C-alpha cells in the first residue's frame, strides 16, 4: 500500500492502510505500507527513493492511495503520474484507491484550472491501473469513461476496530425513562474556513432539538473539535445544553465515547460511503442524522440513517429531536446500523471484497 505526504495531527489514509492491512493479514495476505518521501525530501529525491525501492516489486500489487493533497501541496497532483510510470516500468501491478474522486469546487480561474488538472490526472490514473477502487457508487463518479470495467465500488469504513456490540457499553441508549440525559455526538468538525459553517449548522440543529428534548448533551470529539468550542458555547448559551469537547483521541477511546452516545449528527455536507467520520456512527451502532447529498446511497442508506434535504437546518433539528424522543425508533435505527456494519463496513468484509477484485484482475 503506497502513500504520499503524511497528514497531521492524524493521518486517515495511514490509519485506513493499517486497519485494512491487519484484515488482509487475517485473510492470509501479508501487506506492507510504503510512503514516497517527496514532502520531506522533495520530488527528485522522493522519485529516486521509489526507483530504488521498486526494483523488487515486479508482479506485486501496489495499492496506490489517492487524494489530490497526498500527492501535491496545492491539489495539482501531476507528480503522481511519475510515481505510476515508475511502478509500470518496474512491472508492478497497479490498483488505485480513489479516496477522493471528486474534484475541487470553486469558480475562480485558479479553481477551474486546478479542477481540470485533477480530472485529467484521475483519468490518466484510471487508464494506467489494472483496477480502481472507489468508496462511492460508481454512478456518482462523473469523470469516468463510458467503459468502466476496471472500476469497483468498495466502501471504506471508520478507522475504528468496529468491535462494539448491541447492548454492550451502550451508555445512555440502555437507560429507560424520559429523565435520562440524551447525548448527541459530533465526530470531527471541518477546519477553517469551513469551521464557521459547521458551527452554525450544529448550533441551529441542537438549539431546535433542545426545545423538544430536555437534558440534552452535546459531545464534540475529533479534529478541530476544540477549535469549535468557544463558538458553540456562545451559540448555545441559554439553552441548558451540556457541552463537552475533546480533540484527537485514540481509536479505542473514540469508539467508547461514540458507543455511549444516543445519536451521531453529521453536518459536513451530504453523507456518503467515503465519509469516515459519519461511518464511525454506523460502526458504533448509532442512529445517524444527516443531510442527503449527491453521493448518498447504499450501503449508508441501509444503515440507521435519518436523512433530510441538504441545507435544511430546521428539518435537521426536527429529525434530531425525533430520534432522541422516540426510544423505539432509536432502537430500530441502532439495529440497522449494526447490521450494515457487519454486512458492508467491517474490515474483514472490505478485505475480502478487495482480494476478490485483485484476483479477478
Q: Does some domain include residue 108?
A: yes
Q: What is the pLDDT of residues 294-322, one digit of tens each?
A: 899 999 999 999 999 999 999 999 999 99
Average pLDDT, the chain: 92
Q: How far is 296 from 298, CA to CA, in rounded Å?
A: 7
Q: What is the pLDDT of residues 229-243, one digit of tens each?
A: 999 999 999 898 999
Q: Which of 288, 183, 207, 310 shows the shortest CA–CA distance to 199?
A: 207
Q: How far is 196 from 340, CA to CA, in rounded Å?
A: 32
Structural contact between residues 243 and 235, judged by C-beta atoms closer than 8 angstroms? no
Same-domain status, 48 and 78:
yes
Backbone angles phi, psi at 344, to 5 degrees: -125, -35
> What CATH code is carried by the domain that includes residue 84?
3.40.50.2000
Q: What is the pLDDT of residues 54-84, one digit of tens each?
A: 999 999 999 999 999 999 998 889 999 999 9
Residue 305 DSSP SS3: strand
Same-domain status, 299 and 322:
yes
Question: Is the model's pTM score more than 0.75?
Answer: yes
pLDDT beyond 60 at 287: yes
Helix locations, 176-288, DSSP H: 195-210, 229-235, 251-259, 276-283
Same-domain status, 74 and 145:
yes
Q: What is the pLDDT of residues 148-198, one digit of tens each?
A: 999 999 999 999 988 776 654 444 444 444 457 899 999 999 888 889 999
Work out the percent of the chain whose per-residue pLDDT is above 70: 96
Residue 186: per-residue pLDDT: 97
Q: Does some domain include residue 163?
A: no
Q: Does some domain include residue 67?
A: yes
Same-domain status, 147 and 184:
no
Residue 175: per-residue pLDDT: 47
Residue 147: per-residue pLDDT: 85
Residue 166: per-residue pLDDT: 62
Range of the domain at 58: 2-157+347-360
Same-domain status, 34 and 96:
yes
Same-domain status, 327 and 238:
yes
Q: How far is 226 from 211, CA to CA, in rounded Å?
A: 25
Could you tell me which residue, 104 or 158, shows the higher pLDDT? Answer: 158
Same-domain status, 146 and 182:
no
Same-domain status, 179 and 149:
no
Amino acid at each position: 500500500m503506497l502513500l504520499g505526504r503524511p497528514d497531521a495531527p492524524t493521518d486517515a489514509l495511514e490509519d485506513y492502510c493499517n486497519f485494512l492491512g491487519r484484515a488482509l493479514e487475517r485473510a492470509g495476505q501479508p501487506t506492507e505500507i510504503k510512503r514516497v518521501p517527496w514532502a520531506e525530501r522533495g520530488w527528485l529525491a522522493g522519485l529516486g527513493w521509489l526507483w530504488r525501492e521498486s526494483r523488487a516489486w515486479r508482479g506485486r500489487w501496489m495499492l496506490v492511495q489517492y487524494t489530490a493533497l497526498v500527492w501535491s501541496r496545492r491539489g495539482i497532483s501531476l507528480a503522481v503520474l511519475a510515481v505510476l510510470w515508475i511502478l509500470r516500468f518496474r512491472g508492478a501491478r497497479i490498483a488505485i484507491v480513489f479516496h477522493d474522486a471528486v474534484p475541487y469546487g470553486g469558480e475562480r480561474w485558479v479553481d477551474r484550472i486546478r479542477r481540470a488538472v485533477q480530472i485529467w490526472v484521475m483519468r490518466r490514473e484510471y487508464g494506467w491501473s489494472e483496477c480502481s477502487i472507489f468508496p462511492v457508487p460508481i454512478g456518482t463518479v462523473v469523470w469516468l469513461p463510458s467503459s468502466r470495467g476496471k472500476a469497483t465500488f468498495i466502501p471504506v469504513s471508520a478507522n475504528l476496530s468496529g468491535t462494539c456490540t448491541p447492548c454492550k457499553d451502550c451508555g445512555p441508549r440502555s437507560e429507560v425513562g424520559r429523565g435520562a440525559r440524551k447525548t448527541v455526538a459530533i465526530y470531527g468538525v471541518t477546519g477553517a474556513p469551513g469551521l464557521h459553517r459547521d458551527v452554525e449548522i450544529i448550533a441551529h440543529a441542537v438549539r431546535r432539538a433542545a426545545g423538544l428534548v430536555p437534558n440534552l448533551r452535546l459531545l464534540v470529539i475529533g479534529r478541530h473539535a476544540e477549535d469549535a468550542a468557544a463558538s458553540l458555547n456562545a451559540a448555545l448559551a441559554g439553552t441548558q445544553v451540556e457541552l463537552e469537547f475533546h480533540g484527537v483521541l485514540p481509536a479505542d477511546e473514540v469508539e467508547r465515547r461514540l458507543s455511549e452516545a444516543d445519536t451521531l449528527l453529521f453536518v459536513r455536507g451530504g453523507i456518503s460511503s467515503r465519509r469516515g467520520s459519519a461511518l464511525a456512527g454506523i460502526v458504533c451502532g448509532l442512529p445517524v442524522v444527516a443531510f442527503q447529498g449527491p453521493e448518498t446511497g447504499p450501503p449508508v442508506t441501509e444503515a440507521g440513517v435519518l436523512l433530510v434535504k441538504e441545507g435544511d437546518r430546521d428539518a435537521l433539528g426536527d429529525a434530531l429531536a425525533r430520534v432522541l424522543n422516540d426510544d423505539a425508533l432509536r432502537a430500530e435505527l441502532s439495529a440497522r446500523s449494526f447490521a450494515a456494519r457487519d454486512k458492508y463496513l467491517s474490515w474483514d468484509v472490505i478485505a475480502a471484497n478487495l482480494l476478490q477484485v485483485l484476483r479477478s484482475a
